[in-house]
Amino acid sequence: MEAAQNGDTTATFRTAVACYPMPTTHLQPPDPLSIALSAIIRDGSLDIHFQPLVEVERARILGYEALTRGPADTPLHSPLVLFETAARLGRLVELERIVVRRALRRFKELNLPGQLFLNLTADTLLATSDRGALIAREFAQLDLPASRVVIELTETRPILEPERLQDSMHSLRELGFVVALDDLGEGFASLKRWMDIRPDFVKIDRHFIDGIAQDPLKQQFVRSILEMAATSGCTVVAEGLEQLADLTVLRRLGVPVCQGYLLARPSPTPRAALRAEVDALLAPEHRRRNADWMRLPPDAITTAAQLARRSHTVTPKLSCQTVADMFQRDEQLFSMPVLDEHNRPIGILRSLQVLKRSAERYFMDIHEKRPCTALMDPHPLIFDAGISLRDMSEAISSLDDRLMVDGFIVTRDGEYFGTGRSTDLLKAVSDLQVHSARYANPLTLLPGNVPTDQHLDALLHEGREFVVVAWDIDHFKPFNDVYGYAAGDDIIKLCAQILQTAADPALDFVGHIGGDDFVMVLGSADWTARIARVCREFDRQMRPFFSAEHLALGGYVTLNRQNQESFNPLPTLSAGVIQVLPGAFDSVRALSAALAEPKHVAKCGTGPSRYFVDRRRGPTGDTVAGTLTSPTADDLLDGAAIASAA
C-alpha cells in the first residue's frame, strides 16, 4: 500500500523466498510467464474491475470488490494464472501491493459509493505488520477513510504464521480497516480462521451458493453459517450468485448480502446504483408474468441453467477416429458439444450419426485423421441459461424425434455452460403443470385460494402498498335457476376474462377463490380506472345472456325457498376495496376479515355494477374518523356512474 522502495522490495522478496523457496529451475533462462510478470510489475499495467455487493432486501449497493485482470495481450490476462505465477516466482507481495494502489486510486476516481473490498493473501498482510504509519499516510493522501476499505483474507495459500497474521489483522483494525474472510468453506482452515480473526464480513464460497435451490445440504450449510454469524456479530455475503432460484432460497434463508453475475458483472466502470434491476429480480414471479402465478417450491426448475450439466466436450482439432472411438467405448455417451478456442459451441457430435458414418465403406480410410468437424452437426439446439421452461418446451415441440435423445446445449453470454437432456426438460415442464393445476380453479384455471393467500402474504411481508378488491356476482343463484348451470358457468368464465383483461400482467394479480367470488390485487397506479372498467364491461357483455323480455323488465320472477314468487334483478358485479398501506395488516386472515364490510356495503347497492372503497383505515389498520353508510353515488365513486352511462 505504501510507496515502493528498492530496499523495501528486496527485503520483501527475500522474506517470500525464505518462506516459499524458488524451484531449482531458477538457473534456467526465464520462461515467458516470468518475462510477462516482470513487465506488468514494472509498468503497473493492470486492469481493475469492480463488482458490487448488494443488500438484496434494500436493493442497495453495500460496496464493490476490486478484481484484477492482466493485460489482454499477455498470457497473464487471467487473474488465476497471474497470481499463481507471482506466487511461484516469489513476487506475490510485490504484485498485490501494486494491485492495492491501483484499486484504491481507481475507486476514488470513480467516486463509487459504499466500501471497497480488497483481496489479499496472508503473505501481503504479514508484510504490513510493521508499516502502519506508511499505510495511514497513503490513505490520508487519497482522502479515503480506512473504514471504507474491507481487507479480504483469501486462503488460496497456506498460512504458515497464524499468530503473526492475527497481530497484523489487529494492527489494520486499529487503523480503522474492516476485515472479511473470503471463500468460506474453501481454503485451508477457514472455520478456525473465523474463530481466530472474528471478521466483520464472512463470504461464503460460490461452491455452496451455485445450485443451492436444488441442494438441501447446501441450504443446511448456509443456515449453520448464518447462526454462527448472528452469534459473532458479522455479516454474511453469498458469492457467485448466478441463478434466480438460488436468490429466492438465499432470501428465504436470510442471507443479507449477495454478489454475482445475476446482480451485476464485474466492470471497469460499474454503476453506482442497481435499484431498478434488483427490484425487477425481487418481484415475485407472478408479478413479472401473469401466466406464471404459482409461488413455486424453492427446488422448482424454471430455467435452462438448472437443467445444464457438465459433460464431455471436444475441440475441432480432435480427429474423426478419436471421437468414433469415444462413442464406441461409452454406450451412455449420446452427444458431445464441439467448442472453439473461446469456449463457444460450434456444433454437436451425435453418437448415432458418428457411428453410422464411421461404419460406411472407405469413410475412415479418408477421414480418419481429419478434424471431427466433418462428423458434427453445425446446427445444434442451443438455449441461453436464462431462458424459461415455457420457451424451451415450445422450441423442442417441433424438434425431429430422432434428435430428442441428444438433448441441447446451454450457454451463458455465448460461452458453453452445460448440456441438457430433453427428458429432463419434459419432466420439469410436467412437474410445473401438475404443481400449478393442483391449486388452480378448474373452471377458470385462475389461481385459487392457496396461491392467492401466498401472493397477499408475500406483499404484506414485503411491506408493499397495494389495493385488494373482493368481487362477487350479485343475484347469481336466480340466474342459474332461470337459465341453467351451463349458462351460470359461462358468466363465471366471462367475469374471469374481464378481470384478466383489466389487470396489468406485470403488476396485478387475479384469483378465483371459489364459486362466483374473485380477488384482484392491484399494484397499478390507475387502479380506480381498472375497477371501473370491470364494472362497465361486465354490464355490457352480460346483455346477450338475457332474453329481450328480461332485459326490458330488468329481471325475472322466480320461486324463493318458501315457494313464493319473488322478483330478482339481473346479475351485476359488486366489489369491496381496501387500499393497503405498509404495516396496515399483520396477516392475510386480518385483511380478509377487513374486506367483508366494504364488500357487504357494495352488495347492498342497487343498479349497475359497483364498488365501494373503505377509506377509513390508517397506516396501522386502525379505524379513523368516518363511518360506513349506505352506498351513495359519492361512496361508490365512479364505478356505478360510468357503468350507468355505458
Q: Choose the final residue of a domain: 399, 428, 457.
A: 428
Output b/e per residue, 89-109; b: 16+ Cβ within 10 A: bbbbbbbbbbbbbbbbebbee
Q: What is the mean pLDDT of residues 258-262?
A: 93
Map grid coordinates 479515503 to a residue: 144
Domain span at residue 232 reads: 47-73+97-282
Judge whether residue 538 has pLDDT over 70: yes
Judge whether residue 346 has pLDDT over 60: yes
Q: For residue 565, what pLDDT is reported?
A: 85
Q: Kindly state whether residues 579 and 457 are assigned to the same domain.
A: yes
* Alpha carbon distance 411, 632 (integer Å): 61
Judge whether residue 617 has pLDDT over 50: yes
In this prediction, residue 232 has a pLDDT band, given cuts at 50, 70 and 90, of confident
Mean pLDDT of all residues belonging to the chain: 80
List, as one string, the DSSP characters of 174-238.
Answer: HTT-EEEEEEETBTTTHHHHHHHH--SEEEE-GGGTTTGGG-HHHHHHHHHHHHHHHHHT-EEEE
Q: Kindly state whether residues 214 and 320 are assigned to the same domain.
A: no
Q: Quick check: 122 and 60 in contact, CB under 8 A?
A: no
Q: For residue 400, what pLDDT is reported?
A: 55
Three-state DSSP state, 498: helix
Three-state DSSP state, 447: strand
At 232, which CATH number? Answer: 3.20.20.450
In this prediction, residue 636 has a pLDDT band, given cuts at 50, 70 and 90, of very low
Q: Which residues contact 432 (CB under 8 A, 6 or more apart)?
A: 296, 300, 301, 302, 389
More confident: 105 or 189: 105
In a domain, 112, yes or no: yes
Q: Report which DSSP code applies to 26.
A: G
Q: Kindly state whether residues 130 and 267 are assigned to the same domain.
A: yes
Q: Quick check: 93 and 100 in contact, CB under 8 A?
A: no
Lowest-confidence pick of 143-147, 158-162, 469-473, 545-549: 158-162
Q: For residue 9, what pLDDT is reported?
A: 38
Q: How far, in Å, are 183, 215, 386, 436, 487 from residue 501 at the CA level?
A: 49, 39, 28, 21, 21
Element (H, E) at 410: strand 408-412
Lowest-confidence pick of 298-307, 322-331, 526-535: 298-307
Name the residue type at position 595: L
Element (H, E) at 278: helix 275-282
More confident: 451 or 190: 451
Q: What is the mean pLDDT of residues 588-604?
A: 92
Name the residue type at position 272: A
Task: Say whether pTM exceeds 0.75.
Answer: no
Judge whether residue 1 has pLDDT over 50: no
Q: What is the mean pLDDT of residues 449-474?
A: 90
Q: Kindly state whether residues 465 and 424 are assigned to the same domain.
A: no
Q: Kindly state whether residues 383 and 335 are assigned to the same domain.
A: yes
Judge whether residue 627 has pLDDT over 90: no
Q: What is the mean pLDDT of residues 79-91?
A: 86
* Alpha carbon distance 475, 461 (integer Å): 36
For strands 572-580 and 610-614, give the pairing. parallel
Q: Which residues contact 529 (CB under 8 A, 6 or more apart)?
A: none
How many domains does the structure of the chain reveal? Answer: 3
Q: Report which DSSP code applies to 284.
A: -
* Alpha carbon distance 41, 71 (integer Å): 11
Lowest-confidence pick of 18-22, 46-50, 90-94, 590-594: 18-22
At 492, which CATH number? Answer: 3.30.70.270
Element (H, E) at 640: helix 639-645
Q: What is the mean pLDDT of residues 94-106?
A: 89
In this prediction, residue 619 has a pLDDT band, given cuts at 50, 70 and 90, of very low
Q: Choose the final residue of a domain: 227, 248, 282.
A: 282
Q: What is the mean pLDDT of residues 513-538?
A: 92
In a domain, 24, yes or no: no
Q: For residue 434, what pLDDT is reported?
A: 67
Q: Kindly state whether residues 52 and 164 are assigned to the same domain.
A: yes
Q: For residue 435, what pLDDT is reported?
A: 64
* Alpha carbon distance 340, 290 (integer Å): 40
Give, rounded to a whole angstrom, the gap between the first and last alpha carbons of the chain: 75
For strands 572-580 and 466-474, give the pairing. antiparallel
Q: Quick check: 612 and 636 in contact, CB under 8 A?
A: yes
Grid coordinates representing 370 are 481429419
Judge whether residue 350 has pLDDT over 60: yes
pLDDT tens for residues 180-212?
Answer: 998 786 654 467 788 888 899 999 999 899 988
Among 566, 567, 636, which residue's Cα sits nearest to residue 608? 636
* Alpha carbon distance 545, 159 (integer Å): 82
In a domain, 5, yes or no: no
Q: Kindly state whether residues 525 and 582 are assigned to the same domain.
A: yes
Residue 149: Cβ-neighbour burial (10 angstroms; 0-12, 13-18, 19+)? buried
Element (H, E) at 449: helix 449-462
* Ramachandran angles phi, psi of 253, nearest 5°: -75, -25
Q: Classify the C-alpha dihedral 246-251-255-260 as positive or negative.
A: positive
Name the most confidently modeled range: 62-71, 78-87, 174-183, 355-364: 62-71
In a domain, 16, yes or no: no
* Ramachandran angles phi, psi of 614, nearest 5°: -80, 105
At 320, which CATH number? Answer: 3.10.580.10
* Alpha carbon distance 9, 22 (integer Å): 17
Three-state DSSP state, 635: coil
Q: Kindly state whether residues 125 and 261 are assigned to the same domain.
A: yes
Three-state DSSP state, 129: coil
pLDDT tens for residues 463-474?
Answer: 889 999 999 999
Q: Kindly state whether residues 261 and 348 are assigned to the same domain.
A: no
In a domain, 150, yes or no: yes
More confident: 629 or 554: 554
**Across-strand partners of 411?**
384, 416
Q: Choose the final residue of a domain: 428, 462, 480.
A: 428
In a domain, 10, yes or no: no
* Chain mean position to CA 560: 56
Number of neighbours of residue 427 by Cβ within 10 angstroms: 13
pLDDT tens for residues 21-57?
Answer: 444 444 556 678 888 888 888 888 888 999 999 998 8
In a domain, 499, yes or no: yes
Q: Kindly state whether residues 164 and 309 are assigned to the same domain.
A: no
Grid coordinates representing 251 are 432470501
Q: Report which DSSP code applies to 452.
A: H
In a domain, 91, yes or no: no
* Alpha carbon distance 601, 309 (integer Å): 58
Three-state DSSP state, 14: helix
Q: Kindly state whether residues 451 and 420 are assigned to the same domain.
A: no
Judge whether residue 289 has pLDDT over 70: no
In this prediction, residue 613 has a pLDDT band, given cuts at 50, 70 and 90, of very high
Q: Kindly state whether residues 459 and 585 are assigned to the same domain.
A: yes
Q: Quick check: 268 and 47 in contact, CB under 8 A?
A: yes
